[in-house]
């Protein structure tokens, strides 16, 4: 598969997982705000974590299942993934802030275009880059041993009588 095609397939898997993560975030938020009657900021923090957990699980089992893990332990890797997602969210909020406070665009349409349009595209780009480079490293094939390169030597194996061969 060509590199652009492979990148496209990787992004398609990442985006599909993102749809489920968005649904988990939104569904959790609506439940916590509605039937659970939770305060909005706390409900959003919990729904964000639910969305991140779905996104992490989906990416680890889906498009990045065969990749090496750049961060060694599971909880630490999840933490880095959560930080990458928080950075993407900060980009979305930043786009909304620039639109409202620097450009003076305060209509609902302007908020949707800046936060859910431009912000979503840029935030997704940050999440995609961070997920593929900081959380799930791209495996590189080992260089083939050729002329002029030392050949790997087998490790000595101990014999039953204690001799090393």
Average pLDDT, integer, range 123-147: 73
Could you report the per-residue pLDDT of 93-114, keeping only the tens digit for each?
888 889 989 999 988 888 888 8
pLDDT of residue 83: 94
Residue 144 pLDDT: 46
β-bridge mates for residue 137, sequence order: 68
CB-hemisphere CA count at 13 Å for 157? 3
Confidence (pTM): 0.68
Q: How far is CA 19 from the centre of its chain?
A: 13
pLDDT tens string 41-83: 788 888 888 988 999 899 988 888 877 666 667 788 888 988 9
pLDDT higher than 50, residue 143: no
pLDDT attached to residue 54: 94
C-alpha–C-alpha distance, residues 65 and 124, integer Å: 20
């Amino acid at each position: 598969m060509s590199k652009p095609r492979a990148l496209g397939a990787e992004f398609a898997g990442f985006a599909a997982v993102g749809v489920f993560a968005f649904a988990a975030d939104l569904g959790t938020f609506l439940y916590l705000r509605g039937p659970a009657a939770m305060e909005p900021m706390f409900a959003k923090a919990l729904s964000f974590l639910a969305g991140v957990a779905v996104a992490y699980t989906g990416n680890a089992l889906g498009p990045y299942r065969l990749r090496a893990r750049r961060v060694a332990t599971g909880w630490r890797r999840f933490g880095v993934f959560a930080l990458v997602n928080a950075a993407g969210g900060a980009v979305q909020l930043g786009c909304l802030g620039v639109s409202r406070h620097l450009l003076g665009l305060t209509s609902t349409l302007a908020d949707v275009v800046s936060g859910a349009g431009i912000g979503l595209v840029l935030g997704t780009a940050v999440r995609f880059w961070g997920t593929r480079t900081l959380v799930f490293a791209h495996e590189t094939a080992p260089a083939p041993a050729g002329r002029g390169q030392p050949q790997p030597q087998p490790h000595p194996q101990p014999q039953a009588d204690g001799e090393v061969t």
